[in-house]
Amino acid sequence: MNLEEAKAALAGGSDILDVKNPREGSLGANFPWAIREVVELAGGAVPVSATIGDLQYKPGTASLAALGAAYAGADYIKAGLLGIHTSLQASEMLVNIVRAVKDFDSRKRVVAAAYSDHGRVGSIDPAILPEVAAYAGADVIMVDTAMKDGRSTFEFMTEEELEAFIRAGRDQGLDVAIAGNIGFQHMDLLMRLDPDIIGIRGMVCGGDRQASIRQDLVEKAREAMLAAP
């Protein structure tokens, strides 16, 4: 959320610093200057990710937001497809987001995010995301929870469904991220799934994602990942 949290995450051993604003939603967007500050702090030691919101079907608005995050210095630009109801809508959103980012800097990576609890928020099924994201030229697909009420991704998608999501993404040449109220109790399952990226804000805020990131919990999370079979 801010520079102090970024310092704690970096000191704790985070591999990616993810700039967001939880007060604006699951993938709530932060301000351009907040992104710039974290990029300056990271100094190239680790990549910086930035969310651009839980988006409605407004491709132009989304593309401008994506360009803004890219211009502010983010290496990963993450778009949540919350108000997207069909694969055609998802395709139009992502094609334009990718173009906005890659025209500015082809080295930057676009993350397309769907929601494990899509059934209760009316958004697209994550199962359609790998093909659509690959068609659009995105680099990473992600599953998260839209509603932050303590229920995790693992309550909405089975291990088999998540395995299929990861496999489909990799078959399309995409990296795959898993997030959504992940806790220390999920570590063994996560290591079995073996995604490329794990989002852990709630875990390293002591279970309250509105609280601040704690360096000791980032260190504990890293140790748990290394210790898992």
Domain boundaries, the chain: 3-227
CA distances from 98 to 65, 94, 123 (A): 11, 6, 20
Among 7, 58, 78, 102, which one carries the catalytic annotation?
78
Q: What is the pLDDT of residue 228?
A: 73
The verdict on whether 78 is a catalytic residue reads: yes
Amino acid at 51: T
The verdict on whether 7 is a catalytic residue reads: no
Q: What is the pLDDT of residue 207?
A: 75
Among 20, 58, 108, 220, which one carries the catalytic annotation?
20
- State which residues of the chain have pLDDT below 70: 229
The answer to whether 201 touches 182, Cβ cutoff 8 Å, is: no
Q: What is the pLDDT of residue 76?
A: 98
Q: What is the pLDDT of residue 80?
A: 98
Model confidence over 87-126: pLDDT tens digits?
999 999 999 999 999 999 999 999 999 999 999 999 999 9
Pair of tokens at residue 201: 């804000």
Q: What is the pTM of this model?
A: 0.95
Q: What is the pLDDT of residue 229?
A: 67
Q: What is the pLDDT of residue 206?
A: 85
Q: What is the pLDDT of residue 210?
A: 78
State which CATH number among 3.30.1490.20, 3.30.930.10, 3.20.20.70, 3.30.70.260 fits the domain covering 3-227: 3.20.20.70
The answer to whether 124 touches 114, Cβ cutoff 8 Å, is: yes
